[in-house]
C-alpha cells in the first residue's frame, strides 16, 4: 500500500513533484560543481606549491630578511671590479665578463647547524637544507682605450680632434648586459625531501652523494633550453665552471622547477662566501597530525626562524589561481548555501502546503484506522522520494556541469610568493623570462614574485562529490518529510474531518 500510494501521489501531483525536484536538482548540482572546482583549485595550488617546495615537504624553515642598517649596504651582488688586464681585447674593443654568486633576493641565511637541531626533534621524519642564491653575470664591450695612449698627445693649438673609434658601435661607445639565474645549493645525497623530490630527470643524472664538493650542476630543463645548454656542457656559476650532468623537469604539467641551477651545497656555500650558512630547511613530519606540534617545536628551538606549513604556503599562491580560490571560497560557498537553503525551504513549504491541502485525506485515513506512524511515514516517504528524484537529476546536472568545466579546461596562473611573505625559499624564475632578463632588477623582481605556473583546472569527480549529492538529497527529503510528517501527526481526526464538514 505504501509504495502504491506513494507512486500515485507523486504521479498525481506532478507539478509539485517537478518543482521540488528541480529546486533540489539545481542546488545539488551547484554544490557538486562548487565542491569539484574547489577540489580542482586545491589540486592546482598543490601543483604550484609542489613545483617549488617538493613532494612530501610538510614544513619549511627560513628566516625573515632584516632591512640593512643605516649606512650598511643592502643585499646585492656587490661591485663588479675589472682589472686593467681583464677581458679579451681585439683591435679596437675589449670584451669583459664577470659572474658573482650571492644570497638570493629576499632570503636570509642562517647557520647550518639549524638542520641538525630540526632533524633531532621528535616527529621529524626527514629534513634537508638548501642555500638559495642568485648568479649575476655582468658582461659588456668597451672601446680599446689603449689606442688613445699610442703616439704623441695632440700638439697645443692643434684644433683637429681625432674621432673616437672602437667599442660596440665603432665610435667609442660601450655596451653592457647583466644576466642572472637562480642557483640552489642542495645536499646532493638528500633528495628524499626538498625541491628535487618533485622533479623528473629529463636527461643525464641527478646529484648524488658522491658529488659533494664536485663542480657538477643539474639544470632546470626549460632553463637549459633557453640558455642553450645540455648535458656535458659547462656553466659559469660565480666564476667557477660547473659541468652540467643532468636536466630536470617538474612533475607538474607546465610548471618550472624551484631553481634554474642546482649545485652541491658545500660548493655553493664556499663560492658565495657563505660557509656554514643555509637559507631554507625542508622538513617532513612523521605523520600529518604531528605537523602542528613539529612547527611549535621548531619555533621554540629556532626563535628567529619563520616556520611555514603547507597551509601557510597555500596562502602564498597568488595570481588567477588565488582569485579562483577566493571566488570559490566566498561566492561559490555562499551561493551554494543560499540555493541549497532555498531548495530545502521550497521542499519544506510544498510539503507543509501538501499536508494542509490533504487535511481531509489524512483525517479520513486516521478515521479508518491509520496510525500516526503510518501517516507520517507516508508523508516522509513522499518527500524523501522527491528529494531523491531531485538528487538524481542534480547528480546528472552536476556531472554535466563538471564535464563542461573540464571540457573548457580554464587555465589558471599561480605563483608561490616566497621570501619575506611566506618565509619560504626564493623560487627560480619560470621559463625563459628569468633567464634572459636584461637587467638585474627585472630578474630580481621576478625572483621576488616567485615562479608563475600555468595550471589547467581539472574539476575531479570524486566519491565525496557523489556522496554529497546523495547525502543532500536524502537530507532535504528527510527534512521536508519530518516537518510535513510532524504537521500530519498533529492532525486530530475529528478536527481534520470537522474542518471540511
Partner 1 sequence: MYTLENVSKTYTQSKRQITALADVSLSIPSGQLVAIQGPTGGGKSTLLQMLGALDRPTSGRISLGEAELSHLPDRKLGGIRAKEIGFVFQGFNLIPTLTAQENVETALAPLGVPAEERRRRALDALASVGLADRAGHVPGELSGGQQQRVAIARALVKEPDVLLADEPTGNLDEETRDEIMDLLEGLWRDRGLTLVVVTHDSAVAKRAERRLHITHGTVTERR
Nearest distance from residue 372's CB to partner 1, in Å?
Answer: 8
Question: According to the binding rule CB under 8 A, does residue 500 interact with partner 1?
Answer: yes
Q: How many CB atoms lie within 10 A of CB 402?
A: 22
9-28 footprint of partner 1 as x/- string (CB under 8 A)? x-xxx---------------
Q: Which of 387, 379, 365, 488 is nearest to 9 (CA)?
A: 379
Taking the least distance from each CB to partner 1, the nearer of 258 and 385 is 385
Residue bearing cell 566519491: 463
**Which of 76, 87, 433, 493 touches partner 1 (CB under 8 A)?**
493
Cβ pair 316, 418 in contact under 8 A: yes
Nearest distance from residue 17's CB to partner 1, in Å?
Answer: 12
Residue bearing cell 613539529: 294
**Which of 5, 176, 334, 403 touches partner 1 (CB under 8 A)?**
5
Dig out the grid coordinates for 284 from the structure: 617532513
Taking the least distance from each CB to partner 1, the nearer of 297 and 382 is 382
Q: How many CB atoms lie within 10 A of CB 373?
A: 10
In angstroms, the Cα distances linking 107 to 252, 290, 449 are 25, 27, 13
Taking the least distance from each CB to partner 1, the nearer of 1 and 311 is 1
> How many residues touch partner 1 (CB under 8 A)?
28
**Separation of alpha carbons 207 and 194, rounded Å:** 13
Nearest distance from residue 483's CB to partner 1, in Å?
Answer: 21
Question: According to the binding rule CB under 8 A, does residue 494 interact with partner 1?
Answer: yes
Nearest distance from residue 360's CB to partner 1, in Å?
Answer: 6
Q: Which stretch binds partner 1 (CB under 8 A): 37-45, 319-327, 412-420, 492-500?
A: 492-500
Taking the least distance from each CB to partner 1, the nearer of 472 and 496 is 496
**Separation of alpha carbons 466 and 32, rounded Å:** 8
Question: According to the binding rule CB under 8 A, does residue 498 interact with partner 1?
Answer: yes
442-481 footprint of partner 1 as x/- string (CB under 8 A)? ----------------------------------------
**Which of 4, 149, 161, 288 touches partner 1 (CB under 8 A)?**
4
329-368 footprint of partner 1 as x/- string (CB under 8 A)? -------------------------------xx-xxxxxx
3-state secondary structure 74-88: CCCCCCCCCCCCCCE
In sequence order, what DSSP letters do the residues of 60-128 get, joined into one string?
EEEEPPPPPPTTSPPSS-------TT-SEE-SSEEEEEEEEEEEPTT---EETHHHHHHHTSTTEEEEE
**Which of 371, 438, 464, 499 touches partner 1 (CB under 8 A)?**
371
Question: According to the binding rule CB under 8 A, does residue 370 interact with partner 1?
Answer: yes
Taking the least distance from each CB to partner 1, the nearer of 205 and 498 is 498
Question: According to the binding rule CB under 8 A, does residue 487 interact with partner 1?
Answer: no
For the purposes of burial, counting CB atoms within 10 Å of the CB of 256, is it exposed (0-12), middle (13-18) or buried (19 or more)?
Answer: buried
Residues constituting the chain: 501
Interface of this chain with partner 1, residues 373 to 392, rule: CB under 8 A = 374
Taking the least distance from each CB to partner 1, the nearer of 73 and 368 is 368
**Separation of alpha carbons 257 and 197, rounded Å:** 10
The alpha helices in 319-371, defined as continuous H runs, are 320-327, 333-357, 359-367
In sequence order, what DSSP letters do the residues of 124-163 get, joined into one string?
EEEEEEEEEEEEEEEEEEEE-THHHHSSPPPPTT---PPP
Note the residues at the interface with partner 1 (CB under 8 A): 1, 4-5, 8-9, 11-13, 360-361, 363-372, 374, 492-494, 497-498, 500-501
Amino acid at each position: 500500500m505504501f509504495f502504491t500510494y506513494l507512486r500515485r501521489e507523486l504521479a498525481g501531483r506532478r507539478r509539485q513533484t517537478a518543482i521540488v525536484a528541480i529546486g533540489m536538482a539545481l542546488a545539488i548540482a551547484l554544490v557538486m560543481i562548487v565542491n569539484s572546482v574547489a577540489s580542482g583549485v586545491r589540486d592546482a595550488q598543490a601543483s604550484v606549491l609542489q613545483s617549488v617546495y617538493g613532494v612530501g615537504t610538510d614544513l619549511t624553515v627560513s628566516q625573515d630578511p632584516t632591512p640593512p642598517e643605516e649606512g650598511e649596504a643592502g643585499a646585492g651582488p656587490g661591485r663588479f671590479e675589472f682589472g686593467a688586464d681583464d677581458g679579451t681585447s681585439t683591435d679596437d674593443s675589449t670584451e669583459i665578463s664577470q659572474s658573482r654568486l650571492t644570497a638570493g633576493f629576499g632570503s636570509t641565511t642562517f647557520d647550518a647547524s639549524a638542520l641538525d637541531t630540526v632533524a633531532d626533534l621528535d616527529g621529524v621524519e626527514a629534513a634537508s637544507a638548501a642555500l638559495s642564491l642568485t648568479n649575476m653575470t655582468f658582461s659588456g664591450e668597451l672601446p680599446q682605450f689603449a689606442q688613445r695612449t699610442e703616439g704623441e698627445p695632440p700638439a697645443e693649438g692643434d684644433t683637429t680632434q681625432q674621432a673616437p673609434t672602437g667599442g660596440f658601435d665603432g665610435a667609442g661607445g660601450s655596451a653592457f648586459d647583466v644576466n642572472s639565474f637562480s642557483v640552489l645549493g642542495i645536499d646532493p645525497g638528500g633528495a628524499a625531501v626538498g625541491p628535487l623530490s618533485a622533479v623528473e630527470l629529463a636527461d643525464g643524472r641527478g646529484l648524488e652523494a658522491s658529488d659533494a664538493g664536485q663542480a657538477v650542476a643539474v639544470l632546470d630543463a626549460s632553463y637549459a633550453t633557453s640558455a642553450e645548454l645540455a648535458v656535458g656542457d659547462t656553466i659559469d656559476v660565480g666564476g667557477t665552471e660547473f659541468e652540467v650532468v643532468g636536466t630536470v623537469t617538474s612533475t607538474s604539467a607546465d610548471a618550472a622547477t624551484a631553481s634554474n641551477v642546482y649545485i652541491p651545497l658545500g660548493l655553493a656555500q664556499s663560492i658565495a662566501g657563505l660557509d656554514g650558512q643555509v637559507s631554507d630547511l625542508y622538513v617532513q613530519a612523521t605523520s600529518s597530525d604531528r605537523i602542528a606540534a613539529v612547527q611549535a617545536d621548531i619555533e621554540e628551538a629556532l626563535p628567529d626562524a619563520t616556520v611555514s606549513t603547507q597551509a601557510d604556503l597555500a596562502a602564498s599562491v597568488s595570481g588567477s589561481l588565488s582569485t579562483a580560490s577566493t571566488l570559490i571560497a566566498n561566492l561559490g560557498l555562499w551561493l551554494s548555501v543560499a540555493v541549497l537553503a532555498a531548495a530545502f525551504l521550497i521542499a519544506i513549504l510544498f510539503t507543509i502546503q501538501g499536508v494542509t491541502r490533504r487535511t481531509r485525506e489524512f483525517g479520513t485515513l486516521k478515521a479508518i484506522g491509520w496510525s500516526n506512524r503510518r501517516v507520517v511515514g507516508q508523508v516522509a516517504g513522499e518527500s524523501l522520494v522527491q528529494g531523491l528524484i531531485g538528487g538524481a537529476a542534480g547528480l546528472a546536472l552536476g556531472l554535466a556541469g563538471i564535464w563542461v568545466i573540464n571540457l573548457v579546461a580554464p587555465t589558471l596562473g599561480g605563483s608561490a610568493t616566497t621570501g619575506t611573505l611566506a618565509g619560504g625559499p626564493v623560487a627560480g624564475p619560470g621559463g625563459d623570462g628569468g633567464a634572459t632578463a636584461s637587467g638585474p632588477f627585472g630578474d630580481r623582481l621576478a625572483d621576488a614574485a616567485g615562479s608563475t605556473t600555468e595550471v589547467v583546472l581539472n574539476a575531479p569527480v570524486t566519491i565525496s562529490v557523489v556522496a554529497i549529492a546523495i547525502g543532500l538529497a536524502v537530507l532535504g527529503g528527510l527534512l521536508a518529510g519530518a516537518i510535513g510528517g510532524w504537521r500530519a501527526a498533529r492532525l486530530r481526526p475529528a478536527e481534520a474531518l470537522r474542518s471540511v464538514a
